[in-house]
A = this chain, B = another copy of it.
Amino acid sequence: MNKPTYADYVGRMSEVADFRYSAGVLQWDQETYMPVKGEGPRARQIATLTETAHARFTDAAFGDLLRALSGLDDLKDSERRNVVLTFEDYEREKKLPSEFVRRLSEISSQAFQAWIAARRADDFGVLAPLLDQLVTLKKEEAERKGYTVHPYDALLRDYEKGTSVARLDELFGALIPALTPLLGAIGSVAQVDNSFLHGEFPKQRQWDWGLDLLKRMGLDFQAARQDLSEHPFTTNFAATDVRITTRINEHDFSSMTWSCIHEGGHALYEQGLPADQYGLPLGEACSLSIHESQSRFWENNLGRSLPFWVELWDVLTSYFDFRGIDPAGFYKGINRVQPSLIRTEADELTYHFHVFIRYELEKALLTGNLSVRDIPAWWNEAYRRHLGLIVPDDRHGCLQDVHWSHGSFGYFPTYTLGSLYAAQLAKACPPGDFASVLAWLREKVHRFGRYYDSEDLCKEATGAPLDPQIFLKYLTDKYRDIYGLRGI
C-alpha cells in the first residue's frame, strides 16, 4: 500500500457523498414531483444508492486508510478534525450490514407512500403494517449499534451526538413542569385576537410573498429553490444546491408563512456551510438540534418578534389586506397561545408538548411497552392529558408527521433542543437587520460545520453551556407582555 494521503480520503468521501446526495435528489423528487406509479422502482433506486453509499463508506480498506491517517502528524487542524469525525462515523456505520441498510431504505420508501395513502384515507391502519416493520428494524438497529442504558439512546445518537434519554428526561423535566402553569395562566386571561390570520389568501399571492420573504432573509436563489410538498422540508445536494418545500392553505395566512421562514432558516444554514468541504464533516451541519436552532431562530425568535413585522409591514400589506390591524396587534395575534392538534402549526409554548408526547411515545415503542397498533389510542390519550384536546381523526393525530414513515425515530427531541439553542443564540446575537443577523450566524455557527459538537458550539457562540432557563425566561417575558399576566 502506498503512503495514505488526505487526498485519498477526500476522494472516497466525495464519492460517498455523490451517492448520498443522489439518493437525496431522488427523495426530493419523490416528495415533490414523482408520479404515483413511480413508487416501486423509486424505492429500489434509492435503496441501491443508499446501500452503495454505506458499502463504500464502511469498506474495510477505507477503515485502514482512516486509521493510517489518524497516525499522521502532518495534517492541518481542520483535516485532522475531519478524519477524527469520519472515523467515529465509520465505527458506528460499520455495525450495520449493507443489506440491512438496503432493507431499511426500501421499507422506508414503501412506508412513505403508505403514509401518503393513509393520510388520504384518514386511516392509520393503512400505514400500521409497514410502520411495524420499520419499528422492528429500528429495534434491530439499536441493538446492532449498541447502547449502555436505553435502546433509544442508540437512535438518538444518529441525530444528536451527546444526547441521551437521561439528558432529555432532565431537560423535559425542567420544561414541561414550567410550561404547564404558564399555559394555565394564559388560559385564565382574555385570549388575543388572531382572526385576521384566517380568511382568503390566494395561492399564487402567498407563493410570491413567501419567495419575497426568503429573498429578504438572504437566501441565495441561485443556490436554492422552493417547491410544494405534502410536508415541508429542507434538503441539500451541496452547499450550493439547497431545496426547501412548503404547503399552502388558502384560508390560513400562518401555515405557509412560518413554514417558509422556518425552512428558510434551515436553508441559510446549509448555504453557510463551507462549500469547499463537499462530503466532509466540516461541510456538514453540526447536528440536528443546531440545524433546528437555525430554523427556529428565524421562525420564532425573529419571525414572531415585533421588530420583524414592523420592518416588513409595508411589504406584507402590499401582498395582503390587513386593514384594521397594526404591527402591535399583528404581533399579538401571531403569538396567540392555544392548545391545538398540529405540531407544525403550534405556538411556541404548546409546541413542546407535541414534542414531549412523541418523545415518550418513541421511548415506549423502542422498549416494547407500546405496540404500533396501539399508537392511535396512546396518542389520543396523551393529547387529552397534556393539552386537553380530543383528536377527531388520525390525520389530525398520529398521521400528521412524515418522520416515522422515513424511519426517523429519535428525531423529534431535536426540535425542542433546537428551540433551547435558538433562544440562547438569540439572546447572544446583537440586534440588527436581517443581513447583520445572518452575518452573525454565519460567523458564530454556520462556518464551523461539524467542527464543534452542539453543546461546545453553544459555548463558543454564546459563552455558556446550554441552559433551558434562558428559553423559559424568553417565553415567560414574551407572554407576560402579550397576555398581561401578573404574578409569574
Interface residues of A (CB under 8 A from B): 14-15, 18-19, 21-23, 25-26, 29, 33-38, 40-42, 44-45, 47-49, 52, 220-225, 227, 237-238, 240-242, 278
Instruction: Pick from B15, B29, B37, B44: contact of A14, CB below 8 A.
Output: B44
CB distance from A469 to the nearest CB of B (A): 41
Contact A22/B45 with A222-B35, A225-B35 known, Cβ cut-off 8 Å: yes
Q: How far is B27's CA from A25's CA once the two chains are assembled, in angstroms? A: 10
Residues of B within 8 A of A225 (CB): 33-35
Contact A35 B227 (CB under 8 A): no
Copies of this chain held together in the complex? 2
Residues of B within 8 A of A41 (CB): 21, 237-238, 240-241, 278
- The residue in chain B whose Cβ has the minimal distance to the Cβ of A242 is B35
Q: How far is B241's CA from A37's CA once the two chains are assembled, in angstroms? A: 7
Contact A49/B33 with A38-B223, A38-B240, A41-B238 known, Cβ cut-off 8 Å: no
Residues of B within 8 A of A26 (CB): 22, 25
Q: How far is B36's CA from A224's CA once the two chains are assembled, in angstroms? A: 9
CB distance from A24 to the nearest CB of B (A): 10
Contact A49/B22 with A29-B29, A237-B42, A241-B42 known, Cβ cut-off 8 Å: yes
Contact B237 A37 (CB under 8 A): no
Known pairs A15-B48, A35-B241 / 4 extra A-B pairs, C-beta < 8 Å = A29-B29, A35-B240, A41-B238, A42-B237
Contact A37 B222 (CB under 8 A): yes
- The residue in chain B whose Cβ has the minimal distance to the Cβ of A241 is B38
- The residue in chain B whose Cβ has the minimal distance to the Cβ of A279 is B41
Residues of B within 8 A of A48 (CB): 15, 18-19, 22
Contact A18 B49 (CB under 8 A): yes
